[in-house]
Structure 1
Amino acid sequence: MHTPSSMVMGIVFAPLGLVLVFTAAITPQWREGQTRLGMTGSGSLLRLGVKGQGMGVKSGSVEALLLLRSDGLWESCLQVEHSELKQCWPVAGPYQRDPRVRLAQGLILTSLFLCSTGIVLACIGVRCWTDIPLRGVAATGGLLVVMAGLLSLTALGVYTHNLARLGMADPSQGINNPRFPQLSLRPAGSLYFGWLGACLQVLGGSALLFSFKRPRYPTCPSCPGLPVCPACRSCPEITNKSDTDVYEVSC
């Protein structure tokens, strides 16, 4: 049995989408912002950290440094541009408690679980080492992959739509604190990885779901209305042939 191209496309695209969504989930670049570092309390702390690393930055040059802030679903990072000074920490405060962030976390985790389960079922259902695939099992796997992609798209859509407002419910805390520089937030690289991975999940799952059409078997000469199964060769006119064709199973 030659594996249909749509089935191969689903088996390839679904794991690729899973890898991209997983990469987006564990990286802290869902949104990022930058601002010039001022001579505030936070700047003093940062100067101490820079000096602690032996960089020897003078107090007058601190104002020229660019502060970079990035947030993900489970981690946030702060970095000074053109330096090795970078610190990351688990998300906390208003950003962590924001219901939209919690919703995105739950949807992404559910999506990863469903996609992994769907890929396992699809691999079992394809059964490219036999003549007849388990179409029901493979189709179920494709359905789970499609659902995983839709959940990922929902999480990404909620996060992107509310990107600038996440964690801003309390202006006196978080990155809106007046003691810290004001940051203008924008989408970052992990968000684009997530969008691409979610689209690949939907595409791969759809290919798995709609590629399992029952093949047309040759009909028995003595019973034209009865299809002949290529696995059992139940028709005498076919099984008694001496020149039976042999087909190689290709995956």
Structure 2
Amino acid sequence: MGIVFAPLGLVLVFTAAITPQWREGRARLGIAAPGSLLRAGMKGQGMGVRSGSVEALLLLRSDGLWESCLQVEHSELKQCWPVSGPYQRDPRVRLAQGLVLTSLFLCGTGIILACIGFRCWTDIPLRGVAATGGLLVVISGLLSLTALGVYTHNVGRLGVAGPSQGASNPRFPHLRLHAAGSLYFGWLGSCLQVLGGSALLFSFKRPRRRTCLSFPELPVCCVCQSCPEITKISDTDVYEVSC
């Protein structure tokens, strides 16, 4: 369970970290300038914007930890750029970036230690090493959960200059931001990390071995479930008695 859940959680958290869909928002804008770049792009896409008229466009804005994107809905017009401005300088965004990077590093290190501790090519595992790897995986899951919680709690206020603007983006007054799909990948991956690391932590508890009554210091054979002293008994004749 631990050796499967931990890598799966790492992949999901990494996917959430590199995708720009941590929060999304839609805004309806009107195009009135005949020579605007957006109007020219719409003509290039063959969407048939009429000259001199006011057309409404639905823009989709998405932000991640390291990238932001702007796309015209139902078209191929999309532009992405590295995060910048007040959003990049927001201490909560910087905190989430640091926690996610630390979580990925700790989870990768924990998985390596768990693989070394299991030692599938030998009969005796290194339980302490495997359990230490599980502890690192649990810590990484808690760090990513903290980053996701901070970001989700402030999802509409990140990068906003003044408190009077609320959850509205200053460049797009009618843009309302809400949690997006990357957060759900992160939540699922973090929970899998905590579960997988907790399963690996059980390696600290060594299993109890059965011992022989006459020789308590000797373990019971794991194959034949017999005691070593049986092999020391001399051969005896066995008779079958029937009535």
Q: Greater relative contact order: 1 or 2 (C-alpha under 8 angstroms, separation 6 or more)?
A: 1
Q: Which amino acid aligns with 2:209?
A: Y
Give the paired residue count: 224
Structure label with greater radius of gyration: 2
What is the alpha-carbon distance in structure 1 between the residues aligned to residue 198 and residue 206 of structure 2?
17
**Which stretch has the larger CA shift, 97-106 or 45-54?**
45-54
Task: Give me the whole-angstrom Cα distance separating, in 1, the residues matched to 2:173 and 2:53.
Answer: 16
Tell me the residue number matched to 1:120: 112
Q: Partner of 1:176 in structure 2?
A: 170
Aligned residue for 1:44? 36
Query: Kindly, what percent of the aligned residue pairs are identical?
Result: 82
1:206 and 2:228 aligned? no
How far residue 216 of structure 1 moved from its aligned partner, in angstroms, is 2.6
Unaligned runs of 5+ in 1: 1-8, 242-251
Matches of 1:48 and 1:91, distance apart in 2: 26
What amino acid is aligned across from residue 150 of structure 1 in structure 2?
L
User: For the aligned residues, what is the CA RMSD?
Assistant: 2.6
Q: What letter corresponds to residue 123 of structure 1 in structure 2? A: C
User: CA distance change for structure 1 residues 86 and 238 in 2, over 3 Å: closer, same or farther?
Assistant: farther
The residue number in structure 2 matching 1:223 is 215
More helix by share: 1
Once residues 164 and 110 of structure 1 are traced to their aligned partners in structure 2, the CA distance between those partners, rounded to angstroms, is 25
Instruction: Tell me the equivalent position of 1:110.
Output: 102
Map residues 56-205 of structure 1 onto 2, 5 A cutoff: 56-59=48-51, 63-169=55-161, 175-177=169-171, 180-205=172-197
The Cα shift of 1:196 comes to 0.5
- CA-to-partner distance for each residue in 1:194-242, whole Å, 9 max, x for gaps? 0000010001000100244312323245422x142869xxx8537769x
CA shift, 1:51, in A, is 3.1
Q: Distance in 2 between matches of 1:13 and 1:47?
A: 49
Name the amino acid aligned to 1:65. Answer: L
Q: Please, what TM-score do these two structures have when normalized by structure 1?
A: 0.80
Q: Residue 139 of structure 2 aligns to which amino acid in structure 1?
A: M
